[in-house]
Amino acid sequence: MLQALDLHKTYFMGKEEIHALKGITFSFETETMSAFVGPSGSGKSSLLHLLAGIDLPTKGEVHLNGKTLSGLSEAERTRVRLRQIGLVFQRFFLLPYLTAEENIELPLLEAGVKRQERKKRTRELLNLFELENRANHRPWQISGGEKQRIAIARALANNPPIILADEPTGELDEANTKRIGTILKNLAKEGKIVVLATHNLELAQQANQVILLRDGKIEKK
């Protein structure tokens, strides 16, 4: 369903070439949580950006449901992210002027879902992530763990089959890290493809498969 085929990514810093990825090939299966681990600069985030269609590979392809992401326009890739990929970041990227409920509602709003349905789906997600009592709180009024749960709930709003998480527990304590790990694992069990990039070995250990990236290459599965 989601495949990385010989992915290369080269950045240019002036005249200097930085090879972030050097031929990554990998198939991501449903009901599987895959964790990419590795030191800073190993290419974890770059890989996730390519899988999400945020960035385009210098060489190689990302296949999603038979389509090549690099063959799509920016608007089409954005539409793919809206419907098929849920993204979670270390910094949450919640809108500070919206409540938790409204933040979760955002992808549904962009997808053109009717108000009544939006409210229903948002309520379901708030219940699922035990955030009912935080529904009307703004991001700055709640803890880091809760913020990340809201971010995951938002990523799930349109019920995408793929969840990509870039350092989802980077700013969380141990208890919250464990909780987020359980949530992501449960999502995989429910049939989603979950891919995460992390430094955190404790979180990685909850994944079905752990892939070590080093210097832009898969070193070990």
Partner 1 sequence: MIQLAFRSLVRHKSRLILTILAISSSCALVFDMFMLANGFQKSLTSVLENSGYQLRLIPKGANPLSGSLIQQANKIVQTIRKFPSVENAFPLSLGILPVSYQKGKVQFIEAFGFSGKFKNPPFYKILSGENLSEKAVSEKSNEIIISRGFARKEKLSPGDLVKIYPFSRGFSLIKKPKTFRISAVAFFNLEGTGEKMAALSLKTLETLQGNLSRDPANVILVKVDPAENIKEVSFLIKKRFPNLRIYNIPEFVDAIAKPVFPLDAVSLVMRVVASCMVFLFLFIFLALTVQESKGELAGLKSIGFQSTSCFLIVFLQGLLLTLSGTMIGIPFGYFLAQYLNHIFQGFPFVPEQLHFFILTPSSLIFTLITLFLVGSAAGFIPAFQASRSNLLQILHEELE
Give how far the C-alpha of residue 84 lies from the chain's centroid of Cα atoms, to the nearest Å. Answer: 11
Beta strand 85-89 with 2-13 is unpaired
- Kindly state whether residue 154 participates in binding partner 1, applying the rule CB under 8 A: yes
d(CA 75, CA 152): 23
d(CA 187, CA 35): 14
- From 21-29, 86-94, 175-183, 209-217, span contacting partner 1 (CB under 8 A): 86-94
34, 158, 169, 198: which one contacts partner 1 (CB under 8 A)? Answer: 158
- Kindly state whether residue 87 participates in binding partner 1, applying the rule CB under 8 A: yes
Nearer to partner 1, 97 or 220 (CB): 97
90, 177, 198, 206: which one contacts partner 1 (CB under 8 A)? Answer: 90
Q: How far is the CB of 25 from partner 1 (least distance, A)?
A: 22
- From 18-26, 29-37, 50-58, 212-220, span contacting partner 1 (CB under 8 A): 50-58
d(CA 191, CA 30): 5
Nearer to partner 1, 86 or 145 (CB): 86
CA distances 27 to 30, 65, 197, Å, are 10, 12, 15
- Kindly state whether residue 147 participates in binding partner 1, applying the rule CB under 8 A: no
Q: Which x/- pattern over 97-136 shows residues binding partner 1 (rule: CB under 8 A)?
A: xx---x---xx-xxx-------------------------
Nearer to partner 1, 72 or 106 (CB): 106
Radius of gyration of the chain (CA): 17
The count of residues interacting with partner 1 (CB under 8 A) is 33
d(CA 97, CA 179): 26
The CA dihedral of 207, 212, 215, 217, to the nearest 10 degrees, is -90
Nearer to partner 1, 48 or 207 (CB): 48
- Kindly state whether residue 18 participates in binding partner 1, applying the rule CB under 8 A: no
Q: DSSP states of 89-103 as a string?
A: ETT----TTS-HHHH
List the strands of the sheet with 67-68, edge to edge: 16-28, 2-13, 59-64, 67-68
Residues within the interface to partner 1 (CB under 8 A): 45, 49, 52, 54-55, 74-75, 78-79, 81-83, 86-87, 89-98, 102, 106-107, 109-111, 154-155, 158
